[in-house]
Every structure is written in structure tokens, then in C-alpha cells.
Amino acid sequence: MSVSNIKITKVNSDRVKSFDFENITFGRTFTDHMFSADYIDGKWTNLEIRPTEPLSIHPGNMTLHYGQALFEGMKATKAQDGTPLLYRLDKYLTRINASAKRMCIPELPEEVFFGGLRELVTLDQAWIPPQSGSALYVRPFMFATDDHIGVRPSNTYKFMIIALPAGPYYGRPVSLRAESTYIRAALGGVGEAKAAGNYAAAMYPTKLAQEAGYDQVLWLDANEHKYIQEVGTMNIFFVIGDKVITPNTDGTILKGITRDSLITICKDKGIQVEERPISIDEVIDAHKNGSLKECFGSGTAAVIAKVNKIGYKDQDYSLAESYQISSMLKESINGIRAGIIEDKFGWLEKLPILTTV
């Protein structure tokens, strides 16, 4: 399982023993080690794990100017016997390479992506929080490293993986504003890629929605502002009548791995799922006639975020907080990830337990 060509330099004294797993502020504490690889002269090389530390960057670094950068977000968990578990690795590899292709960044060989992840998570497994529903958030990312002014693809790149402990996600239900002025993605654009710039472009409309009292933007299509796309860092689902409906992946939305997992679980449980264009008018009509039962977002970070209100054209539509299907789905995914529910779809990969940690 280990990739022999990764050079490993361990920290002298790890910080994990003094880390307070009961009070995790997500986003600020990074594990002891990071993985990096360089793309130079047409190949990925310099595979290395070393103590997490700042990078030194030239002011002419192309990423800073032209944004040729992308990322992924995954979670590692622990089974009850302490075995570290990775989730749906193949899907994340497919997606990072699809994003890379669109951003004109060289794709990653399987052994670099899988090897880096397996080695880093194995080494830093003591950072996987023990509480149920919590996880180690793993952030692979790629960016241009040429020092060059002038728009062209970089000749050199870095692929890195860092990781951060994340506490249990007790998210309260969220409110969404369907956005009729700004757009996130158009057909032919980069909506399907996890390109860094997608997130920068969403910040201003999100800020406006938050100033108006909503948590997130519900993105609508670029042509007609009619068909629902997704939310912030989540795909979106509606339960209308006895059907679960989610927008189809038409090239404008991220092919969410949680989305795919939820669809698989629903179908396995005999719940009818439709992946198709769904308009904001259809959702509002369903709300008016009482058939809109649930709405929830799906993503690696939250797993499922229940939605309690949708705002559209100065009108708010509140949802009854029943959440039957969304609660069942959340328990299923968290249960599989914690090794409590049988992994019947073969989504988990076990890593070795290190006895020295």
C-alpha cells in the first residue's frame, strides 16, 4: 500500500498530544505533516511528506495573477477499532483530474494521488477526531508555480495535501436565497470544476444574501434564472411527494460525491430519485400545494444541511421541519463512515493502524 518513492520527514515532536479534540475550531489547526509533489519537465516528481510549514512564493507566481488553481475536499474517519478509513477515493481522483483537465493543469497519476493520501492519513491518523460525526478533513490542491507574467498555462505545478481535524457537524438548518441577478456557472464554463476562482466569484453574491438575512445562495441557471443548480459548497435535493429530486449534472454543477452517495442509498432503500432539471417555480408550486416535504444540501463538509427557508423574489417560503429522508440519509452516511453500518457499496478503504501513534 505504501508508495516507496515518497520521501518522509517526520516532525520531531507532534502537536497532536496537546490538541483539544473537544473544542475544535475548524479551519485553523492543521495536522503535523503535509504532502507535496512537483510537476517539472513533464512529470510529477519530488513526492514528499514533511512537517506542515509555510511555502515561499515569488510575487510573480502565476497562481496569484491568473488563478490556475483547484482543490478537493475529502474526509478520513476511524472505525470503532481505530482503523483509519478513506471514502470513495476513486471518485475524488476522477474529479480532481476532470478539474485539472479543464484548468489546463496536468492530470495526476493514480499512484501520486492515492499514494500521497494514504501515506499522509496513515502518518497523521492520531489527528482523526474520535467523536462520532467528526472527521479529518483532507484538502488536496493543485496550483501553477511558474514565476511568469503573461497569460499562458504554467509549465510547472505543485500538488499538495494538507489535513485539518473537524468536529461533529451539528449544523442548524440553513436558509437559502434563490439568486436572480448573479450567476455561478454557465454551460461551457467551469462550474463542474472545483476551480479556486469559482469560490472567489461566489463571495460577493453570498455576502449580499447574508446581509439580507439568508445563509447561502441558491444558484439558478445563467440563461433564464429559472432552473436550480446548487448551493455554496453543496448540491441540492428536494423531496416532493414521495420522490427525491436533484438537478442533473449538466456541466454547470459539481458532481458531488455526497450527492452520488445519497442517490445510491435512496435507490437501495427503494426511494424514487429523479435527476433532472428542476425549476424554482416547480419548487414554489410544490410548497404552495403542500407536496414539498424536505429540502437539503449535500456535501463532504456538512454531509447534509437541512434547509428551513427559501427566499425568491422578496418572498420567503418556510419549510416544515420534518426531515425524515434527510435524517435517515445523514445517519446512513455517517454510520458507513464510522464502520457501524455495513459498507455494502464498497466505499471505504482501510488504512493500517500505527501502533506508535
Ligand X SMILES: Cc1ncc(COP(=O)(O)O)c(C=O)c1O
Nearest to ligand X of 49, 305 (CB atom): 305
311 forms part of the interface with ligand X (CB under 6 A): no
Q: Where are the alpha helices (DSSP H) in the chain?
A: 62-66, 89-102, 110-123, 196-211, 257-268, 280-288, 324-337
Nearest to ligand X of 122, 298 (CB atom): 298
What distances in angstroms separate CA 136 from CA 19, 47, 161, 167, 201, one per listed residue? 13, 22, 12, 9, 27
234 forms part of the interface with ligand X (CB under 6 A): yes
Provide the mask over 32-71, with x wherever binding to ligand X is found by CB under 6 A and - wherever it is not: ----------------------------------------
**Helix and strand element counts for the chain (H, E):** 7, 18
Handedness of CA 191, 238, 273, 73 (dihedral sign): positive
Nearest to ligand X of 234, 239 (CB atom): 234
The DSSP annotation for 205-244 comes to: HHHHHHHTT-SEEEEE-TTTS-BEEEETTBEEEEEETTEE
Residue 129, phi-psi category: left (phi > 0), alpha (psi -120 to 50), beta (remainder): beta
Q: Which of 125, 298, 326, 334 binds ligand X (CB under 6 A)?
A: 298
Nearest to ligand X of 135, 234 (CB atom): 234
Calculate the CA 328 to chain-centre distance.
21
Nearest to ligand X of 39, 237 (CB atom): 237
* Minimum distance of ligand X from residue 82's CB (angstroms): 25
- Distance between CA atoms of 271 and 31, rounded to whole angstroms? 40
Q: Which of 84, 140, 247, 299 binds ligand X (CB under 6 A)?
A: 299
* Minimum distance of ligand X from residue 195's CB (angstroms): 10
Nearest to ligand X of 10, 207 (CB atom): 207
Of residues 239-278, those binding ligand X (CB under 6 A): 254, 256-259
Check: CB of residue 314 under 8 Å from CB of residue 308: no
Q: Name the segment binding ligand X (CB under 6 A); options: 19-27, 96-104, 220-228, 229-237.
A: 229-237
Residues forming contacts to ligand X in the complex (CB under 6 A) are 73, 230, 233-235, 254, 256-259, 298-300
